[in-house]
Amino acid sequence: MTENGRPPYPHVYQVNVSDGGVPKRPVLEAVIAKTGVEGDRQQNLKVHGGPDRAVCLYSQELIERLQDEGHSIEAGSSGENLTLAGLEWEKLKLGDRLRVGPQVQVEIMSYTSPCDKNAQWFRDRDYKRVSQKVNPGWSRLYAKVLREGMVRPGDEVTVEAG
C-alpha cells in the first residue's frame, strides 16, 4: 500500500450501483455483464445504458481535484459504476481496452455528456466542468463489456491501448 492506503498500481477504488439515478452507492462487489452492472439501473435509457454504455467509469484522482476546487462530488455521485484510481485519465482514449481484475475486460466507447442531475455536486451548479467538449480529459467514460465477471475494490486495472 502507498502512504494514502491505496495499492501502488492502477485499481478499482469503488464499485457503485443505484436503483436509478444519482448518486450511485458503493458495494463490496458486482458482476459486470454485457448488459451492465448487475444490481444497477438507469433512469433514462435514451442516454444511459445499452451495450456501448454498459459501464460508466471515472477517476478518483479527478474527483479529488474537483473536491479541491470546492465541489461536493464524491465517488459514485456522478453516476459512475467503477471509480478507478492510479490511471493517467487524460491519456485514455476511445478504443482503449481495460482489464479489470482477473476476469473483466471493457472497451472505452465514448465520453459521457454531463447531466443536469449532477449539478448538485458542483459549485454554482457548473456540471459542465466534467464535459469533454469544455474541459478535455475531465469526462467520465462509457465502456462496452468484452468479457464478463466479478469486480471488487482493489482489483488491478491494466490498459491495453486500442
pLDDT along the chain (162 residues), means of 10: 77 94 93 93 57 94 97 94 96 97 97 86 91 94 97 97 70
pTM, entire model: 0.92
Label residue 154 left, alpha or beta by phi (over 0 means left) and psi (-120 to 50 means alpha): left
pLDDT for position 5: 73
pLDDT computed for residue 43 by the predictor:
52
65: which residues sit within 8 A by CB, 6+ positions away? none
Measured in Å, how far apart are the chain's first and last C-alpha atoms? 30
Q: What's the confidence (pLDDT) of residue 116?
A: 82
pLDDT of residue 46: 55
Question: In this structure, which CATH number among 2.10.109.10, 1.10.287.3510, 1.10.10.410, 2.40.33.20 belongs to the domain 11-160?
Answer: 2.40.33.20
User: Which grid coordinates are listed for 58?
Assistant: 471515472
Q: What is the pLDDT of residue 42?
A: 63
Tell me how far apart the 2 most distant CA atoms of the chain are, in Å. Answer: 42
Upper half-sphere CA count for residue 162 (Cβ side, 13 Å): 14
